[in-house]
Structure 1
Amino acid sequence: MRTIFFDPVNGAAGDMITGALLAAGADEEAVIRAMTSVVGRPEISRVNRRGIQATYLRTHAGTGNRTIEEVLSRLFDADATSEAKEMAARVFMRIHNAETRVHGDHPHFHEVGADDAIADVVGACTALLSLSADAVSINPIPLGRGTISSAHGLIPVPAPATAYILADSALVTRVTEEETGELVTPTGAALLAEFSSSFPKGGSDGRIRSIGYGAGTRNPEDRPNVLRVMVMEAEGENGFIDILETNVDDVDGEVIAAVIARLHREGARDASAIPIIMKKGRPGHLIRVICRREDSKRLAFILAKELGTLGVRCIPSVHRFIADRRIITVRIPEGDEIGVKIGSWQGEIISVKAESDAVLAAAERHGIPIREVKRLAEDAARRELQGWISDA
C-alpha cells in the first residue's frame, strides 16, 4: 500500500506541492507537458532554503482575471490525462465556492485565475496521480499570522477564501503563534483538500521510499520555506482488503458507469461491472468493489443508495500482493515522449504498459495505429530497462 504523506510544516502553495511531488519521484515529463500546454514550459531548478535543497518551479506567467468558465475551458484544453483534469477542475470549484462565500456572486477570479495558478493545479494533480497512490496523509495545516496585500487591499491571514476552503475540507489546522504572513495560499489549500478527499487516509506505519522538498518563492531568515512529501509503502496488515459485491438487473449502463466513477473518487481501490445472467434468464451485472476494510461500510452504503440494491455481500480480510510500480519516459521514433508504467515483483519486471492517453494523442497526431504507438513505446521501455540491467 502506497501512501503519499504531505508535511506542510511551513505552509503550502501550488508550486511547492508540485515541486515536492516531482522531487519525490513524480513523472516529470508528464508534469512538464501538462504545465507547458497551459502557460509555456516551466523552469524547474534546485534551490537552497535555509540549508535544505528543494525543487522550485517558476512559470513566467503574467497576471490575469478569469471567470470560472474561462478557467475550466483553459484547464480542459491542457495536455493531461482526463483524470488529472477532472481533479484539477474540482480544485478550482473549491476555490470558486470559497470566493463566492467571501464576496457573494463574483464574476472573476483574481490571483488564482492567472495562467500560473492553472498550470500549478494541473501540474500538481498530474504529479500526484503519476505516483500511483493508494492513500494520502496530510499533517495539520499552519494558519499563519499577520496580513497580506491582495486585490482587495490588506487582509488577514489565512486569506478569507483559504479559511473557507479549509473549513469545507477534512483537513486539520494548527494555530501559528509567531508573525509569519501567508503560509497557505488558496491554491495550496484547495489542492490538499482535494487530495485528502480523493484518496483514503493512509496509516502511520510504513517504509519511506522517497522524499521530496518543494520550495516557496520567499526565503525568510527564520525558517526553510519548503513543503515536504514522503512516499511510504506498507505491507502486512495494510495488505488486506475487503471485496464488496452486489447483483443488479434494473440499472442502466450510464448509472453503473457513474457509480463506478464515484466509488473510485470515494476511495475504492478498484470497481467493476461484470455481465451476468440472473434468475429467469434476466441479464444483469455483478458490481464488484475492492476497498480497504475501514471503507467497506461507507462504500456499501453508496452502492445501496445509488443502485437501489437491498443487499451488499462483503468478503472480508482478503490479502492481496502488490507489485512495485514506477513510471519511466521514453521517446518514440516520431519524437513524442510517452510515459510507460513498469511493474516489478521481487526485483523481476512483470509488466510494461504505455500510458494510454499519451499513446492516443501520439497516434492521432501522426495518423498511425494506436497499437503501433503502444508497441513502439513499450519496446523502447524494454530496451531502456535492459540497458539498466546490463549496467547493473
Structure 2
Amino acid sequence: KKLSLDMFERIARAEAKIHGKSLEEVHFHEVGAIDSIVDMVGAAIAIDYLKVERIMASPVQVGGGFVKCAHGLFPVPAPATMEILKDIPIKSGLVPFETTTPTGAAILAANVEKFSDKMEFSVERIGYGIGNRDLEVPNVLRVYLGTAADGLDEIDEQYILETNIDDMNPELYSYIEERLFEKGALDVFRTPIIMKKARSAIKLSILVNKKQAGAVQGVIFRETTSIGMRKFRVEKIMLQREFLALPTEYGEIKVKISYYEGKPVKYKAEYEDCRNAAVKNQVPIVTVYRTVDQEMEKRTRSEK
C-alpha cells in the first residue's frame, strides 16, 4: 500500500506543480485511467512479493516526437513525465514516439535506487513485457532478478541528516520516526547529548538515499521543533544478502543470510515471522528462534 501511494503521490505533485495548484486541487489526467491504476498497484504488489533488496535500472528512454495531452500537443517527454524524472538520468530520440509515460516514470522514480547501464550482478531469472506498438527497435521491457556478483560487497552512497532538539515533547519521537520511515528513511536513531548551558537534548539522525532526502527533510521541518539540520554524504558498505524461506515445525520462517567474500558468515531470522509463528503456535518466541538455529545448523552440515 505504501509503495503504490508513493507512486500516486509523485504524479499528483508533478501535476500540481505544472498547473500551479495545491496537491488537494490537482486533477489527474493520466493516473485516473484504470490501466494506470492497475500498473502502479500491480508494480507495488510485484515488488512486495519478490522481496528484493534493491532495484536498479538503466537510464530512462523517453522517446521522441510529440504527445497529445489533456491541454494540447506537447513535445516528448510530457510535462508531468519530465517533472517526475527530475534528477534521474534519461535518454531520448530512440524512436519518434513516447516511450515513458507519467505512470512509468512514477514507478521508476519511486522504486529504483540506482540508474546505471552496468549490470553488476549474476542473473537468475528474466521476465519480458511486450508493447502493442510495432517499432523499428524491439518494444520490450526486460526485467532481471539476480544477486550481486560473488566477492563484491555493495557500496552505496547515502546521506545522514542530523538535528539537535532540546525543546520538543519526548512523546512525539515515536510518531516522527514512523513518519520518517514512511517517507523513505533507511534508519532513524536518537542519541542523548548535552548542549550549551548544560541543556539536555536529543540528536536525531536519519540515514537516507538521495532521492528520499527531500521528503525526509520535510518531515523534520514540519513535524519537529527543529529550525536547521546538518547533511553530509556517507558511503555505506553492505554485505551481500539473500533471503531463505526456512521450513520449521512452526511454519515457514524467512531468514536473511549475509555473505563475505562469497561465503555465508551470519544469518538472522525475520522478527515478524518469528513473532507470528509464536502467536499462532502458542509458544515462546525464543523457542521459535531456537528452532531456526537448529534448522540452520542442519542445513549447514548437509551442505558440507
- Which of the residues 13, 28, 34 maps onto 1:110? 34
Higher relative contact order (CA 8 A, sep 6+): 1
Which structure has the highest helix share of the two? 1
Question: CA separation in 2, counterparts of 1:247 and 1:278?
Answer: 9
Partner of 2:108: 192
Quote the offset at 1:287 in angstroms.
Answer: 1.8
**2:60 maps to what in 1?**
140
- Letter of the structure 1 residue corresponding to residue 45 of structure 2: V
Map 1:188-267 to 2 at 5 A.
188-196=104-112, 199=113, 201=114, 208-211=120-123, 213-217=126-130, 223=138, 225-229=140-144, 238=155, 245-253=162-170, 255-257=172-174, 259-260=176-177
Partner of 2:20: none
Give 1:372's aligned residue: 287
Deviations 1:52-82 (A, max 9, x none): xxxxxxxxxxxxxxxxxxxxxxxxxxxxxxx
Shift of 1:126: 4.6
CA distance in structure 1 between the aligned counterparts of 2:182 and 2:292, rounded to whole angstroms: 29
1:342 corresponds to 2:257: yes
Count of aligned positions? 282
1:355 equivalenced with 2:270 (yes/no): yes
Match of 2:249 in 1: 333
Kept in 1, the 8 Å contact 2:255–2:267? The answer is yes
Identify the structure with the greater strand proportion. Answer: 2
TM-score w.r.t. the length of structure 2 is 0.64
- CA deviation after TM superposition for structure 1 residue 146, in Å: 9.7
Unaligned stretches of 5+ residues in structure 2: 16-25, 68-72
The structural deviation recorded for 1:333 is 1.8
For residues 284 and 277 of structure 2, what CA distance do their matches in structure 1 show?
A: 9
Asked if the contact 2:81/2:100 (under 8 Å) is kept, the reply is: no
Amino acid at match of 2:111: F
- CA positional deviation for 1:236: 9.9
Tell me the amino acid that sits aligned with residue 92 of structure 2: R
Deviation of 1:348 after TM superposition, in Å, equals 4.5
In the alignment, residue 111 of structure 1 is paired with which amino acid? D
Distance in 2 between the 1:125 and 1:331 partners?
A: 21
Sequence identity, in percent? 23
- Pair 366,137 (structure 1): closer, same or farther in 2 beyond 3 Å: same
Q: What SS does structure 1 have at the residue aligned with 2:138?
A: coil
Whichever residue aligns with residue 110 of structure 1, its letter is: I
CA distance in 2, matches of 1:120, 1:301: 27
Task: Verify the 8 A CA contact 1:332 1:377 in the aligned structure 2.
Answer: yes
1:323 and 2:239 correspond? yes
Residue 120 of structure 2 aligns to a residue whose secondary structure is: strand
The residue type equivalent to 2:221 in the other structure is K
CA contact (8 A) 1:207 1:232 kept: no
Q: Deviations over 1:165-211 (max 9, x none)?
A: 553343436244356xx855665433112124xx4x56x59771233
Runs of 5+ consecutive residues of structure 1 not aligned to the other structure: 1-84, 148-155
**Cα pair distance change 1:261/1:157, threshold 3 Å:** farther
**Hey, what does 1:101 align to over in structure 2?**
28
Q: Using a 3 Å threshold, how does the CA distance of structure 1 residues 217 and 378 change in structure 2: closer, same or farther?
A: farther
Task: Report the TM-score when normalising by structure 1.
Answer: 0.52
RMSD (CA atoms): 5.1
Q: Does 1:288 align with 2:205?
A: yes
**Partner Cα distance (2:153, 2:245) in 1:** 31
For residue 325 of structure 1, report the CA deviation from its aligned partner: 1.4
The answer to whether residue 189 in structure 2 is matched with residue 272 in structure 1 is yes
> Equivalent residue for 2:21?
none
